[in-house]
Amino acid sequence: MPSSASEPPASQPYDLAVIGAGPAGLAGAVTAAGLGLSVALLDASEHVGGQFYRHPAATLGAVRPEALHHDWAAFAGLRRGLEASGVSHLAGHHVWSVTGQDGDWAVHAVTGSDGGQERPVRVRARALLLATGASERQLPFPGWTLPGVVGAGGAQAMLKSGLVLPGRRVVVAGSGPLLLAVAGSLAAAGARVPAVVEASGYLRYARHPRVLATNPYKLVEAVVHGGALLRHRVRPLPRSAVVAAHGTDRVEAVTVARLDRDWRPVPGSRRRIACDALAVGHGLAPQIDLATALGCATRRTVDATAALVLGDGQETTVSGVWSAGETGGVGGSRLAIVEGELAALAIASRLDGQTELPQSRRAVRLRRGRDRMRAFADAMAAAHAPAPGWTQWLPDDTDVCRCEEVTAGRVREAVTDLGAGDARTVKLLTRAGMGWCQGRMCGAAVACLAARGGGPVPPPAERRPFAVPVTLGALAGLDADAAPGNPTDD
Amino acid sequence: MARTPAELVGAQPEPPFEITLDGRPVPALPGQTVAAALWSAGILAWRTTRVGGRPRGAFCGIGQCYDCLATINAVPNRRACLVPARPGDAITTQEGHGRAELSV
Ligand SMILES: Cc1cc2nc3c(=O)[nH]c(=O)nc-3n(C[C@H](O)[C@H](O)[C@H](O)COP(=O)(O)OP(=O)(O)OC[C@H]3O[C@@H](n4cnc5c(N)ncnc54)[C@H](O)[C@@H]3O)c2cc1C
Ligand code: FES
């Protein structure tokens, strides 16, 4: 049983504190407990599963929660593992800080559904596994603050946990493989999804046939999504973006434009699509605040997010702190599980006094799996990396910072007139990123504007022959032939 | 093909109860967050911004954006996408700051 152990005796630290009970943290905690470690597993949520395995509360009586997931069996296994383990699952614990040093960490949390009040808790542990996942990246456009415009992952999360939709006719837009999953689920749950608007294309997946071929699981996933889209008559619009949302008190329509290679809207390619909601997101960015506060080094990913630098055994650059899942670079739930397990093996061996990484068959197999899946994730990330031209769909009067209502014009002014060269200086000058969310929503956009529109440029494409199964091929083909559509100005 | 999310997962929820938004009754299912109950009722905004007075509701859906802040039973600045709905909860549209400062 997951004991609801609140605080361990002050004199007795846990062997391991795991922060985050998504696929990575769950796998790490269950594996570590299986190896004999005492483990505390903390998560802000009342439910385990993280973002991918979000599911309705028991009182909602879902008989088939797996209908919203394509890999439910793996989660069911982890959940059984957790129940059978001695892991102290500390649900509803919002971790706000970690202090200490190798061998003696203190994890500080507040409890409650939104962590706003209630009890402060401190959990001590000899080793630390950070598995805090990712958050969605947003690139602003006029109208993105209208009610009915929601994060793509956010719409997915609300659907999975609350069985609700933001509207009846939902356009899905942005960039990244998650959009296909979101469109598939929204449509399966009864929403009409007139279009999935993807700023990149699917063509470049097809240029990595070998990476794809070594990843049967991911292929299956893509096929599943591809099939679902056809069944629900969802129209993919590659190389396009929602450049405006319209409405007064809620979204009533969006304008979609074709994009050139640099993500600049193509003149004359605008068309309007009626909808009552828009689910939008430009991929995910690792959530690494706790780690960076501890001094863990980061690297720039191929799609211009910051991820933790990790060693072969998932250890960060701070001794005694390990990490698994999206924090080391976005790669999906399967990779998260493998990394969680691998981190647990490495931690157990370190706590046992070993200095070398474990070389067991299991460890070697996990490392291979991880490397293969990372390569695939990088190929995907490269295919969806934002190109600098996107700032052309951002007029001066559009709010960039949702919290402090700071417009693009004010940010640009700070950059050009006042010489701000980075997001930090822009923040000090304009308050962008200083509000409630602390720049989580506007950070990517502000960084691009501070780089004077010379934002992240995707790495050059490699030319490779197509060698992919039919649905991926179909997606790729769509990208190649997509016509500009009926240009109608809004 | 499913027409609703509940149909898709074969949900047999426990009986609904009532919460209110600015006095207006809204049904909620046990296990839903306040934001989910409001979405179910077709309500997408329950806050106005401090500077522009613009309507806002849930955006990120996972507790990170703070756009869904609501006053729940007289306590301001609660994230409606995280707080579970309870029978009789009185939600009020939050204008500007609400009152208390957030601690996290
Ligand atoms: C909104 C959203 C929706 C997504 N939907 C899908 C989807 O439908 N399909 C898909 O394949 N992928 C989806 N993803 C991608 C998802 O990141 C991965 O598939 C997978 O869940 C990653 O596993 P993880 O364990 O690394 O992180 P996560 O699953 O994100 O788990 C991280 C956990 O850490 C907890 N946490 C974070 N910070 C703290 C803190 N300070 N204190 C306490 N707890 C904390 C969180 O509550 C969360 O439970 C989504 C991502 C996001 C952001
Ligand atoms: S919707 Fe973002 S915090 Fe609630």
The predicted model gives A83-108 an average pLDDT of 93
Residue B74 located in a structural domain: yes
Which residue is associated with the tokens 């597993």? A41
How close is the nearest chain B Cα to the Cα of A47, in Å? 11
* B3 confidence band (pLDDT: 50, 70, 90): confident
- ipTM of model over 0.90: yes
* A211 confidence band (pLDDT: 50, 70, 90): low
Q: Assess whether A143 and A242 both reside in one domain.
A: yes
Mutate to test the interface with B, among A53, A163, A284, A442 (most CBs of B within 10 A): A163
* A326 confidence band (pLDDT: 50, 70, 90): very high
Looking at residue A243, which CATH number applies to its domain? 3.50.50.60
Backbone torsions φ then ψ of A89, nearest 5 degrees: -90, 110
Chain A nearest-CA residue for B80: A114
**pLDDT at position A488 over 60:** no
pLDDT at residue A368 in the model = 95
Do B7 and A190 count as a contact with CB atoms less than 8 A apart?
yes
Residue A486 located in a structural domain: no
pLDDT at residue A116 in the model = 62
Do A405 and B52 count as a contact with CB atoms less than 8 A apart?
yes
Which residue is associated with the tokens 């415009």? A149
Residue predicted with more confidence, A362 or A423: A362
- The CB of B78 under 6 Å from ligand 2? The reply is no
Which of A61, A157, A402 minimises the CB distance to B61?
A157
pLDDT at residue B101 in the model = 43
Residue A467 located in a structural domain: no
Residue A380 located in a structural domain: no
The predicted model gives A241-267 an average pLDDT of 97
pLDDT at residue A239 in the model = 94
Looking at the CA of B70, which ligand is closest? 2
* B68 confidence band (pLDDT: 50, 70, 90): very high
Domains contained in chain A, number: 3
Which of A114, A165, A403 minimises the CB distance to B79?
A114
The whole-chain average pLDDT of chain A stands at 85
* B103 confidence band (pLDDT: 50, 70, 90): very low
Q: Assess whether A298 and A267 both reside in one domain.
A: no
Do A436 and B66 count as a contact with CB atoms less than 8 A apart?
yes
**pLDDT at position A490 over 50:** no
Structural domain harbouring A170: 138-282
Q: Assess whether A240 and A222 both reside in one domain.
A: yes
Q: Assess whether A22 and A109 both reside in one domain.
A: yes
pLDDT at residue A343 in the model = 98
Q: Assess whether A265 and A303 both reside in one domain.
A: no
Residue A479 located in a structural domain: no
pLDDT at residue A426 in the model = 86
Stated as kind and residue range, the H or E segment containing A471 is helix A470-481
Do A190 and B10 count as a contact with CB atoms less than 8 A apart?
no
**pLDDT at position A315 over 60:** yes
Mean pLDDT is lowest, of A153-167, A196-210, A350-364, B74-88, for A196-210
Q: How far is CA A103 from CA A17, A95, A321, A324, in A?
A: 11, 19, 9, 19
- The CB of B65 under 6 Å from ligand 2? The reply is yes
Residue B41 located in a structural domain: yes
Q: Assess whether A115 and A203 both reside in one domain.
A: no
Apex B79 CA angle, A44 and B56, nearest 5? 140
Residue B7 located in a structural domain: no
pLDDT at residue A436 in the model = 82
The predicted model gives A335-339 an average pLDDT of 96
pLDDT at residue B28 in the model = 96
- The CB of B68 under 6 Å from ligand 2? The reply is yes
Which residue is associated with the tokens 């806050």? B47
Mean pLDDT is lowest, of A141-150, A255-264, A365-374, A432-441, for A432-441
Q: Assess whether A187 and A243 both reside in one domain.
A: yes
Do B61 and A155 count as a contact with CB atoms less than 8 A apart?
yes
Looking at residue B86, which CATH number applies to its domain? 3.10.20.440
Residue predicted with more confidence, A123 or A379: A123
Chain B nearest-CA residue for A143: B54
Residue B60 located in a structural domain: yes
The whole-chain average pLDDT of chain B stands at 89
The predicted model gives A56-84 an average pLDDT of 88
Whether residue A153 lies within 8 A of chain B, CB to CB, comes out as yes
Residue B64 located in a structural domain: yes
Whether residue B52 lies within 8 A of chain A, CB to CB, comes out as yes
Q: Assess whether A147 and A230 both reside in one domain.
A: yes
- The CB of B81 under 6 Å from ligand 2? The reply is yes
The predicted model gives A28-42 an average pLDDT of 97
Report which of A130, A126, A103 is spatially closest to residue A290, judged by C-alpha positions.
A130
Looking at residue A441, which CATH number applies to its domain? 1.10.10.1100
Do B31 and A116 count as a contact with CB atoms less than 8 A apart?
no
Residue A76 located in a structural domain: yes
A356 contact partners, CB below 8 Å, separation of at least 6: A349
pLDDT at residue A296 in the model = 95
Cβ contacts (< 8 Å) between B75 and chain A: which residues? 116-117
Structural domain harbouring B20: 16-96
Do B4 and A155 count as a contact with CB atoms less than 8 A apart?
no
Whether residue B86 lies within 8 A of chain A, CB to CB, comes out as no
Share of chain A above pLDDT 70, in %: 84
The predicted model gives A11-22 an average pLDDT of 94
Q: Which tokens in the block code for residue B102?
A: 């957030």
**pLDDT at position A241 over 60:** yes
Task: Please identify, among A282, A299, A323, the residue that sits at the C-terminal boundary of a domain.
Answer: A282
* A232 confidence band (pLDDT: 50, 70, 90): confident
Which of A65, A163, A437 minimises the CB distance to B65?
A437
**pLDDT at position A485 over 60:** no
Residue A462 located in a structural domain: no
Q: What is the largest CA-CA distance in chain A?
A: 70
pLDDT at residue A78 in the model = 94
Do A116 and B44 count as a contact with CB atoms less than 8 A apart?
no
- The CB of B45 under 6 Å from ligand 2? The reply is no
**pLDDT at position A287 over 60:** yes
pLDDT at residue A7 in the model = 44
Which of B13, B45, B84 minimises the CB distance to A147?
B45
Whether residue A188 lies within 8 A of chain B, CB to CB, comes out as yes
* B83 confidence band (pLDDT: 50, 70, 90): very high
Query: Long-range contacts: A462-470, Cβ < 8 Å, 24+?
Result: A462/A207, A462/A208, A463/A207, A464/A206, A464/A207, A464/A208, A464/A209, A465/A209, A466/A206, A466/A209, A467/A206, A467/A209, A467/A213, A468/A205, A468/A206, A468/A209, A468/A212, A468/A219, A469/A219, A469/A223
* Sign of the dihedral defined by the CA atoms of residues B81, B86, B92, B95, in that order: negative
Cβ contacts (< 8 Å) between B78 and chain A: which residues? 114, 116
Residue B8 located in a structural domain: no
Cβ atoms of A344 and A35 within 8 Å: the answer is: yes
Domains contained in chain B, number: 1
Residue B4 located in a structural domain: no
- The CB of B61 under 6 Å from ligand 2? The reply is yes
Angle in degrees, 0-180, between the axes of helices A152-162 and A178-188, rounded to the nearest 10: 40
The predicted model gives A7-35 an average pLDDT of 89
Which of B32, B64, B103 minimises the CB distance to A437?
B64
Whether residue B28 lies within 8 A of chain A, CB to CB, comes out as no
Cβ contacts (< 8 Å) between B69 and chain A: which residues? 436
Residue A385 located in a structural domain: no
The predicted model gives A475-485 an average pLDDT of 38
Which of B7, B51, B55 minimises the CB distance to A405?
B51
The predicted model gives A337-353 an average pLDDT of 97
* A84 confidence band (pLDDT: 50, 70, 90): very high
**pLDDT at position B60 over 70:** yes
* Sign of the dihedral defined by the CA atoms of residues A336, A339, A344, A347, in that order: negative
Report which of A126, A129, A110, A109 is spatially closest to residue A13, judged by C-alpha positions.
A126
Q: Assess whether A142 and A200 both reside in one domain.
A: yes
Q: Assess whether A274 and A150 both reside in one domain.
A: yes
Show the DSSP H helices in B1-104 as ranges: 5-8, 34-40
pLDDT at residue A380 in the model = 82
Mutate to test the interface with B, among A54, A60, A403, A434 (most CBs of B within 10 A): A60
Q: Residue A315: is it exposed, middle or buried by C-beta count within 10 angstroms (0-12/13-18/19+)?
A: buried
* A121 confidence band (pLDDT: 50, 70, 90): confident
Whether residue B83 lies within 8 A of chain A, CB to CB, comes out as yes
Could you read off the pLDDT of A432-458 as tens digits, one per residue? 888 888 888 888 888 888 887 554 433
Residue A476 located in a structural domain: no
How close is the nearest chain B Cα to the Cα of A28, in Å? 22
For the entire predicted model, the pTM comes to 0.90
Show the DSSP H helices in A163-215 as ranges: 178-188, 203-206, 209-213
Residue predicted with more confidence, A363 or A375: A363
Q: Assess whether A116 and A147 both reside in one domain.
A: no
Query: Distance (Å, rounded) from C-alpha A451 to C-alpha A33?
Result: 46
Per mean pLDDT, which of A25-39, A221-235, A404-418 is the most reliable?
Answer: A25-39
State which of B56, B62, B78 you would mutate to test the pocket of ligand 2, scoring each by most atoms of that ligand within 8 A of its C-beta. B62
Cβ contacts (< 8 Å) between B14 and chain A: which residues? 59-61
Looking at the CA of A69, which ligand is closest? 1
Which residue is associated with the tokens 């500007």? B96
Q: Assess whether A34 and A129 both reside in one domain.
A: yes
pLDDT at residue A482 in the model = 33
**pLDDT at position B50 over 70:** yes
**pLDDT at position A289 over 80:** yes
**pLDDT at position A399 over 90:** yes
3-class state of residue A424 by DSSP: helix
